């Protein structure tokens, strides 16, 4: 994060463009300053709805995040179905990436230094996209936009980018592997944009700390492991999957989990088009803000942006979500 007392300070010393940034006033060390927050295409549209304020006004700040839940200052647990625009789709503290990040910082690798993260990140991305051996770490989407293949000759940068972002567990994303260049939504919350290409492009990656490369590499390896596990599960029937669990109690719990997921998926189908774990709204865009706020009142954080899908995580019980959707079936008219 970059801190400054005012915009003149930023412009003079950092020479940054304000197009993709917003300012959030915070109090640090007993004086007022501004925190510079990135708000690119995959950040919530703050001009439509400031979801920071929506959460804070109801429940206070988020003080902890674990798994697929957020815990607030007012001791409220929120089911997170936004998951940082899909970057936290693996959950928080559900894998080893956060631990690797902490260890890298402890080792002093928060500087721009050569490390094993370079090799490991390349190996992970090449494992996921073997036909795209070149990758680029970018600070701006626009550096690669001229190389993207778009439908209907789209000129809007946001639309062009969004149709060229690979997302894990999204079946339609697999079609992007036929293209020469596309972006990859990382499985770890970061402001770094990742592009992969079949050919070497005349662009340079931006400076990224060794710690961030290490954590991105670990996150992608965690993702690969989970993708392989999901593929194995998909080849099994429901009965075979339950029988694969060890012990009677685990078999019973898995059966309950599957039943619970099916029940909530059926309810979700009334409000979203489901593709994998991704939920694309059926609601009119004009009604979405009210739907988001109603969900938040029920302790559920949906995607604050109509164009960014929410995500249905796999958890044991969906009590909050089921109760909310059952109520909404009586109040919301789908057009």
Q: Are residues 107 and 188 in the same domain?
A: yes
Which domain, by its residues, includes 243?
63-81+238-331
pLDDT score of 61: 95
Contacts of 68 (CB under 8 A, 6+ apart): 79, 80, 81, 83, 91, 92, 313, 315
pLDDT score of 152: 63
pLDDT score of 69: 96
Residue segments in the chain with a per-residue pLDDT below the cut of 50: 1-48, 334-335
Last residue of a domain, one of 226, 255, 285: 226
Neighbour-count burial for 239-262, b at 16+ CB within 10 Å, e otherwise? eebbeeeeeeeeeeebeebeebbe
51 and 43 Cβ atoms separated by less than 8 Å: no
Last residue of a domain, one of 194, 226, 258: 226
pLDDT score of 281: 96
Is 123 domain-assigned?
A: yes
Q: Are residues 205 and 299 in the same domain?
A: no
pLDDT score of 245: 85
Strands 31-38 and 3-4: antiparallel
Q: What is the 8-class DSSP label of residue 205?
A: P
Residue 322 CB neighbour total at 10 angstroms: 15
Neighbour-count burial for 82-94, b at 16+ CB within 10 Å, e otherwise? bbbbbbbbbbbee
End-to-end Cα distance, the chain: 42
Q: Are residues 16 and 135 in the same domain?
A: no
Is 53 domain-assigned?
A: no
C-alpha 313/C-alpha 310 separation (Å) is 10
Number of domains in the chain: 3
Q: Are residues 243 and 220 in the same domain?
A: no
Q: Are residues 175 and 246 in the same domain?
A: no
pLDDT score of 154: 58
C-alpha 93/C-alpha 64 separation (Å) is 11
């Amino acid at each position: 994060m970059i801190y400054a007392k005012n915009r003149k300070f930023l412009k003079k010393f950092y020479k940054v463009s304000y197009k993709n940034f917003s300012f959030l006033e915070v109090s640090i060390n007993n004086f007022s300053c501004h925190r510079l927050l990135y708000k690119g295409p995959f950040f919530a549209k703050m001009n439509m709805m400031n979801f920071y304020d929506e959460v804070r006004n109801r429940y206070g700040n988020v003080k902890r995040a674990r798994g697929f839940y957020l815990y607030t200052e007012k001791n409220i647990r929120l089911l997170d179905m936004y998951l940082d625009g899909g970057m936290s789709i693996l959950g928080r503290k559900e894998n080893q990436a956060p631990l690797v990040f902490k260890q890298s910082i402890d080792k002093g690798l928060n500087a721009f230094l050569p490390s094993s993260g370079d090799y490991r990140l390349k190996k992970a991305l090449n494992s996921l996209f073997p036909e795209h051996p070149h990758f680029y770490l970018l600070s701006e989407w626009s550096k690669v936009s001229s190389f993207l293949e778009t439908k209907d000759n789209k000129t809007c940068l946001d639309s062009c980018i969004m149709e060229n972002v690979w997302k894990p567990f999204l079946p339609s994303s697999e079609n992007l592997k036929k293209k020469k260049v596309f972006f990859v939504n990382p499985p770890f919350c970061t402001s770094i944009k990742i592009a992969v290409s079949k050919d070497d492009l005349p662009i340079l990656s931006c400076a990224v700390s060794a710690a961030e490369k290490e954590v991105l590499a670990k996150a992608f390896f965690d993702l690969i492991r989970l993708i392989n596990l999901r593929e194995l599960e998909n080849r099994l029937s429901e009965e075979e999957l339950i029988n694969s669990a060890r012990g009677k109690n685990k078999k019973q719990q898995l059966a309950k989990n599957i039943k619970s997921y099916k029940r909530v998926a059926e309810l979700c189908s009334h409000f979203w088009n489901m593709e994998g774990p991704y939920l694309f709204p059926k609601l009119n865009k004009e009604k979405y803000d009210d739907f988001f706020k109603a969900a938040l009142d029920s302790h559920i954080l949906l995607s604050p942006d109509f164009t960014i899908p929410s995500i249905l995580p796999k958890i044991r019980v969906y009590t909050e979500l089921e109760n909310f959707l059952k109520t909404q079936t009586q109040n919301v008219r789908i057009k």
